[in-house]
Amino acid sequence: MNGEITRNQLIDLLRELVEKRRTSTLYVRTDDNHLIVASVERGEIVSLLCGPRKGERAIPSIRKMRTGTYRMEESVTAHRRLGANLPPSEVLFSLMLEGGNEEETDEAGGTAVSDCQWVQDVLCKMLAEYMGPIAPLVCRETVKAAGGIDSSDKVKRVVETLAQEIDNPSEAERFRSRARTELGKRMA
């Protein structure tokens, strides 16, 4: 399978591969001459590359994509290990679709989505399901009061503080559980 593709079509195609639990690798040459490689194995995105950027660091470049040409292979590339710490596919989709200022400069001088910002984004989205539109403000203020979320201890404290903001105890526990699942190793 090959042809022309837009960013949203790329995300839709990846989503379809995930939903159908397929194993494939997409190669996209963007209109600004970047190469995007996305591998899906048994319905989970296992690697993501854009030029020299790997994993979550590739997302800002993918967001900038307008159009490109692609081809798809029914296998996973040798880049499989580059996605070992990727968040769940649904989180990746939301990060690819968002705009915003979560970009920062990495050690190679390129743009990257910081782990701290990613964790905050995930927590804000989850909290919004329980608190509505005030959630991002509550989340940002809680992270700020904790001095950031640059360690697993701080992440645990922020999750606990946010859970205490949820009035219903069973919903608060569900939030804690989802946070542990979504954030995985960052809370270890």
Alpha-carbon distances of 77 from 38, 39, 48, 156, 177, rounded to whole Å: 9, 7, 11, 35, 33
Q: What is the pTM of this model?
A: 0.52
With vertex at residue 109, the alpha carbon angle to CA 51 and CA 89, rounded to the nearest 5 degrees, is 50
d(Cα 36, Cα 25) in Å, to the nearest integer?
Answer: 10
pLDDT per residue rounded down to tens, the chain (188 residues): 788 999 889 999 999 999 999 999 999 998 888 899 999 988 988 888 888 888 888 888 888 888 999 999 988 765 555 545 677 787 788 778 765 333 343 444 433 345 677 788 888 888 988 888 888 889 889 988 988 887 888 889 999 999 999 999 999 999 999 988 888 766 66
